[in-house]
A and B are shown apart, each in its own frame.
Chain A
Amino acid sequence: MSRDRPALRRHEPHTAPDDAAASSLRFIRETMERAGTFTAVPGWGGVAMGGVALAASALASRQPTVSDWLTVWTATALVGVVIGAWTTWAKARRGGAPLLSGQGRKFLLGLLPPLLVGVALTLAIYAYEVGPTGEYFARGGAADAVASYRLLPGAWLLLYGAGVASAGMFSVRLVPLMGSLFMLLGALALLAPAAWGDAFMAAGFGALHVVFGVLIARRHGG
């Protein structure tokens, strides 16, 4: 049972009316915060996702072909989803927060649409780059410089950021802040030279996840 839960059955039979009134107001505020906030955002899960993303960006930058590069990031995304879902579920269970109803449901429904857009966009660009004959080209060549897949890091950061920012409306304030920073990084990645894509991925999915993961874990219980 978490410590910050408002005391429901506290009796104050002999306190001054203004103290009792202040206590009532505090109780109302705490209850409303609890009822209106999804608190099961996993801090340590974010750190773990960040660690995986940092390793993945080092690996992805060494891939010889577009297809290999996409495979690394797709696998990373799947690992990230599993870590995120598992640590969220564990934290919700520990803290007694509803996961698939109430604020948890709103959080999920806010996060999901931009992520699905990301999947659709990635599939479309993959199909476009690989072509109908199934061949794919080496990274670093002349064709690579104008290839559309190089927009993906910026698009991924923007879309993930949009999901986290909107889902974060139903959570603690750090979450929408993190989402906004992801979006900012995504916009910068689209403006920057395409070769910096993996570095932006490391800064976003790696560093931002680790930093905010630690902050959330410290301030909001794990």
Chain B
Amino acid sequence: MPDPNDTSLRRAPRPVATVPDLDPVIHQRVRLGILSALAAGGTTSFTDLKTVLDLTDGNLSVHARKLEEAGYLEVRKSFADRTPLTEYALTEAGRVALEAYLDQMEAIIQTARPS
């Protein structure tokens, strides 16, 4: 959480990566997209997630694995008509992390803009 008295954010435009305390797992567009889509759509299949986010197979796999390793999503593998079906679901930790990230983004905007 940025200190509301800290005015350094207002001074000069800087890369967003220098803003402290951002969760590096979430602070990446593809992974942020995956978590957002799962938060809104519930359990979603690999194929649907790929379509909604406009990603390639490889790209989605890599980023989904990082989120899985962080404990933010869980993978459910099953078979539908003998075809392997991979589904992703947001975990409680993932939901908490996404909400924390949203709070941070709001805080950054609040700090930077004089009310």
Q: Is A14 an interface residue (CB 8 A)?
A: yes
Say whether A146 faces chain B, with CB atoms less than 8 Å apart. no
B36 near A32 (CB under 8 angstroms)?
A: yes
Cβ of A127 under 8 Å from chain B: no
> Looking at the complex, which one of B44, B102, B105, B111 makes contact with A102 (CB distance below 8 Å)?
B44
Contact of A32 among B14, B40, B106 (CB under 8 A): B40
* A178 is an interface residue with CB less than 8 A from chain B: no
Question: How far is it, in angstroms, between the C-alpha of A36 and the C-alpha of B41 when the chains are bound?
Answer: 5
**How far apart are B33's CB and chain A's nearest CB, in angstroms?**
5
Within 178-211 of A, Cβ neighbours of B (below 8 Å) are at none
* Bound CA span A22–B54, Å: 22
Instruction: Look across to chain A and name the residue whose beta carbon is closest to the beta carbon of B30.
Output: A8
Does the CB pair B102–A25 fall under 8 Å?
A: yes
CB within 8 Å for A24 and B47 given contacts A16-B13, A31-B36, A31-B40: no
* Total of A-B residue pairs, C-beta within 8 Å: 99
Interface of B is mostly: helix
A20–B106 CB distance below 8 A: no
Complex contact A1–B38 (CB within 8 A): no
Q: Is A59 an interface residue (CB 8 A)?
A: no
CB distance from B110 to the nearest CB of A (A): 9
Closest chain-A Cβ to B104's Cβ sits at a distance in Å of 8
From A5, A21, A101, A103, contact of B54 by CB (8 A): A5
CB distance from B88 to the nearest CB of A (A): 11
What's the minimum C-beta distance from B105 to chain A, rounded to whole angstroms?
A: 4
B97 in the interface, Cβ–Cβ < 8 Å? no
CB of A28 closer than 8 Å to a CB of B: yes
Q: A10-B29, A102-B41 are contacts. A31–B109 as well, Cβ < 8 Å?
A: no
A97 at the interface (CB under 8 A from B): yes
CA of A189 to CA of B96 in the docked complex: distance in angstroms? 50
B29→A8 contact, CB < 8 A = yes
Check if B15 is an interface residue, CB within 8 A of chain A: yes
B11 to chain A, nearest CB (A): 10
The interface residues of chain A lying within 8 Å CB-to-CB of B47 are 98, 101
Assuming the contacts A31-B36, A32-B40, asked whether A17 and B108 have C-beta atoms less than 8 A apart, the reply is: yes
A134 at the interface (CB under 8 A from B): no
Q: Given A25-B106, A27-B33, check contact A8 B112 (CB 8 Å).
A: no
Most chain A CB within 10 A, of B15, B55, B111, is at B15
* Chain A contacts to B: CB under 8 angstroms: 1, 5-6, 8-10, 12-22, 24-25, 27-28, 31-36, 96-98, 101-103
Apart from the given pairs A18-B112, A28-B102, A35-B44, 13 other A-B contacts in the complex at a CB distance below 8 Å: A1-B54, A8-B54, A8-B55, A20-B16, A21-B104, A21-B105, A31-B53, A32-B37, A35-B41, A98-B47, A101-B47, A102-B45, A102-B52
28 contacting pairs across A/B (C-beta < 8 A): A6-B33, A8-B55, A9-B30, A16-B13, A17-B9, A17-B18, A18-B111, A21-B109, A21-B112, A22-B109, A24-B32, A24-B105, A25-B106, A27-B33, A28-B32, A28-B102, A31-B37, A32-B36, A32-B37, A35-B36, A35-B40, A35-B41, A35-B52, A36-B41, A98-B47, A102-B48, A102-B52, A103-B41
